[in-house]
Amino acid sequence: MIRSRASVVIGLGVPVVAVVAGILVLAGNPTLVFGIPVVFCWMFCCFPLTTACLWVSWRFFDSRHYRQDGER
């Protein structure tokens, strides 16, 4: 169950906006970065961004709602 809108915005909204905006802006760009098109480089850069956003969402908004076994 999702308890916080901020968690959804940070965990899902930020990565989606980054991917979609990057594709829209960089799709027609012929620039190469390390031999790959810049749009694919952007997509590879979004992987760590997505991981970081999910971590922030979990750490600061959701983890307190799920206790591990043995915790009180």
pLDDT in tens, 13-54: 999 999 999 999 999 999 999 999 999 999 999 999 999 999
**Residue that wins the pLDDT comparison between 44 and 68:** 44
| Domain span holding position 51 | 5-70
> What's the confidence (pLDDT) of residue 72?
56
| Straight-line distance from the first to the last Cα atom of the chain, in angstroms, rounded to the nearest whole number | 20
Kindly state the tokens that stand for 60.
Answer: 């600061």
| Number of domains composing the chain | 1
**pLDDT reported for residue 71:** 63
Per-residue model confidence (pLDDT) at position 18: 95
pLDDT confidence of residue 37:
94
More confident position, 68 or 23: 23
